[in-house]
Structure 1
Amino acid sequence: MPSTITEQFNGRVIEVHLSGKLTAEDYDKFVPLTEQRIKQYEKIRMLVILDDFHGWEAGALWDDIKFDVQHFNDIERLAIVGESKWERGMSVFCRPFTTAEIKYFDHSELEAARQWIY
């Protein structure tokens, strides 16, 4: 499975590890859990760790856009941990789709990303 999802701080922080291509099936796992935590806490924080990430399949990209529009105000902070310039660019690309405070970290700064998100 190219992605794993873990919860921290009783679900207030969702940590998502992505590698390979993101699929619609990945969203089938991710969205219900995330929406459940948003209902429970109203605002959540997310840590997205990209490792050898190759983007989205077409269906997954559509699911991502729908999720972003629906939860525009529900994510308080978003940390993106990556390893390339285009992944760094994702932190800029995401800004119009959320009111979250977004920060990019290099893989060598994973612990700093965790401290910032928690």
Structure 2
Amino acid sequence: MILYQSAPDSPVVEISVEGKITDRELRATIERMRDDLERNGKTRVLEHIEHFSGIEPKALWTDLTLGVPLARKITRAAVVADAGWVHASMHLARFFTKAEVKAFRVDELEQARAWINA
């Protein structure tokens, strides 16, 4: 499941991910992100991942072909996750975005929000 939250007057987007990501959900999220980028220009993203159980193969391809080009337009990203592999893989983000990226533990959600808004 993907929950996407944004306000028209804010450059900050919050995306919550739980369970398995489907291609349909991911495409809808990418479309909303595209709209926010067009409206706000520089966009910051806080992604909150808990109980992640995978991604459909088709959604993985969608992420690579449609999501990565959008990631290059993000200026700052905070990733809040309960999975150690997410934190360990943060160094790979530099291949997909020029954004400043920082990882936070689930119990640091409020710190991540403060950092993304700074």
TM over 0.5: yes
Structure 1 residues 72 and 48: CA distance shift in structure 2, 3 A: closer
Structure 1 residues 60 and 11: CA distance shift in structure 2, 3 A: farther
Q: Distance in 2 between matches of 1:15 and 1:67?
A: 19
Aligned residues: 117
Give the structure 2 partner of residue 117 of structure 1.
116
Q: Residue 11 of structure 1 contacts residue 37 of structure 1 at CA under 8 Å; is this kept in 2?
A: no
Task: Please give the TM-score of this superposition, normalised by the length of structure 2.
Answer: 0.90
Listed as ranges, the matches of 1:43-54 within 5 Å are: 43-54=42-53
Give the structure 1 partner of residue 60 of structure 2.
61
Q: CA deviation at 1:11?
A: 4.2
Q: CA deviation at 1:67?
A: 2.9
Listed as ranges, the matches of 1:54-93 within 5 Å are: 54-93=53-92
Listed as ranges, the matches of 1:5-16 within 5 Å are: 5-8=4-7, 10-16=9-15
Q: Distance in 1 between matches of 2:111 and 2:38?
A: 28
Give the structure 2 partner of residue 19 of structure 1.
18
Task: Please give the TM-score of this superposition, normalised by the length of structure 1.
Answer: 0.90
Q: Distance in 2 between matches of 1:89 and 1:9?
A: 33
Work out whether 1:104 is the aligned partner of 2:116. Answer: no
Q: Residue 68 of structure 1 contacts residue 98 of structure 1 at CA under 8 Å; is this kept in 2?
A: no
Gaps of 5+ in 2: none
1:113 aligned counterpart, secondary structure: helix
Q: Distance in 2 between matches of 1:108 and 1:72?
A: 25
Amino acid at match of 2:89: M
Q: Residue 8 of structure 1 contacts residue 15 of structure 1 at CA under 8 Å; is this kept in 2?
A: no
1:51 aligned counterpart, secondary structure: strand
Percent identity over paired residues:
30
Amino acid at match of 2:50: D
